[in-house]
Structure 1
Amino acid sequence: MSKLQHLTQLTMQLLCLTKTDSFRVLCARWFGWVLALALSHASLGFAADTPPAQSAIEALQTQAQQWASSHPSFQGRAVHVAPIDNRIAVQSCQQTLQFDQPFPGQASVRVRCTQPNWQLYVTLNSGNAPAAVARNGLPAPAVQKVLIAKDLLKRGTLLTPAMFTATEMPAPGMESQLINDPKLLVNMELVRDLTPNTPLKTYDVKTAVMVKRGQEVQVSAGVGQGFLITMRAEALQDGGMGEQIRLKNSESGRSLTAVITGPNAAKLR
C-alpha cells in the first residue's frame, strides 16, 4: 500500500470514530468503496507505467533495422524482416543480437545470440512486396532461384559451380536460407551430406579449411617483387582462404605468420 493510500485510510478511520453509530455504518461502507477505488487506480497506474515486453520476433525486427541503418548494403533504406518459417521457434535473446552478411550480394543476413546460444538466417527486404495470388484465390508460393546438387555430395566436399544446376522452384518460408549465386560457392565446403536435386542452403556450407593444424605448408615469399623464396612450415592452426595463420619453420623452428593462398599453401605478408 502506498503512503497516500495509508494516509487516506487513517483519515477516514478518525472521521468515522467521531460520529454516531448509524453514521459509522455508512462511513465504513463509504470507506470500503473509496479504498477499493484507490487500489483500483493504483493498479491501473502501475500497469500503465510498465511497458509490455517485446516478443522475440519484435526484438529481432527492431535490432535488425538498427543494424541495417549503418550497414552499406541497406543504409538509407527502410527494411523489414521477411516472414520466418513458422516451424522455426525464435527464442528470446538475453543479449544484443549480432548481425552479419556472410554471403555478400544477397539479402540473407545471419542473426546470432550468445545467451542462449543460437543463430538464424533471415532476409531483410526493402518496402512491401505485393503478394502473388493463385487461381484459387490463395497466395501463390514464391518461386525462387535455387542451386540443386547433381549428385550425392559428401560432408567436407570442396564445392564448385559445376556440381550444381540452377533452377526455379517454390520455396515458401525458405527465401532467406537458399544460395542462388554460384559465385558464392568459391572456397566453401559442405558441413553435411547433400542428396541429389536438393536445394543448397546457407546452413549447408561453411568457409573451407585449406590448411589444418599440424600439416606441412608450402610458404612462399617475394611473389611479385622480382624474386621467389619457398620454405616448408608446420601449421599451428586451421585456416581458410585469405586468413592469416601462425606457422613454424620446419628447419629453423622460428615462428612466422602467413596468409593462406590455397590448399596447404601460404605466402608471407
Structure 2
Amino acid sequence: MTILFHIHVGLTISLMLLSGASMAAQWHDVADIRAAAEQVLGGNGVHAEATSLDQRLRLAVCAEPLVANPGRAAPGATRVTVRVACPAPNWSLYVPVRLSRQQSVVVLTRAVNRGHVITATDVEVITRPARSGYPVLRDAAHAVGQRLRRPAAGGTELTPSWLETPAVIRRGQRVILVARSGGLEIRTNGEAMSDGGTGQQIQVRNLSSGRVVSARVRNGDIVDVAF
C-alpha cells in the first residue's frame, strides 16, 4: 500500500510538471516581445529599453517572426510606443519603450592637479548617456597637450571649459616673425605682446618696422603672419 501510494504521488507530480511545461509552451516568450520592440528603435547611439511588460503576459506562440512598428514621436523623444504584432495567430500589443542616447566622451583615467598638461595616458574615450545642453570632447587628441584649469578626479568627463592651451611664448619674448607668399619666405625679429600657446593668435611687434601685427604661434620661437 505504501509503495503504491508513493508511485501514485510521483505520477501525479510528474503529470503536473508536464502539464505546466505544456501550458508554458503555448505562450509566446515575453523576452522575445521585448526584444522586438527594442530592436526596432535601438542602434546608432540610441539605447532602447522596453518597459511595463508583465512577465505573466499570455499570448499564443507566434508561428512567424514578430513585426514591430514604432509610433510617431517628436525628435529627441525619450519615450515611444511600439506596436508588436504576430501575423499568425493574429494578435498585437503596444509596448512602451524608453530611449536614451549614447555618446563618446573623453574622461580622465586618473586624478590630476590644476595646471597639469594632459598626456595620451591621462585620457580615454568611453560611451555614456548623452546629456543635452553642454559641449563635450569626443576625441582624446583634442585634450592631449592641453592644460587643466582646475584639479579633477579620475573619470571626470572633460569639456572645453576644463582646458586651456599652455603658453609656449611669453609676453616680451623675442620671436621670429615668418611671412610666406607662394615660395617666398621673409623672416624678421619680433617681440610678443602677450602670452600664447601653439596655434593661438597673438599680437607681435615687428622690431624692424615697429608695426604690431597678428601672428599665429607655431612653436616656442616662431610665429607666422599672413603676408
Is this a same-fold pair by TM over 0.5?
Answer: no
More strand by share: 2
What TM bracket, shorter-length normalisation? 0.3 to 0.5
* TM value normalised by structure 1: 0.39
* TM value normalised by structure 2: 0.45
Higher relative contact order (CA 8 A, sep 6+): 2
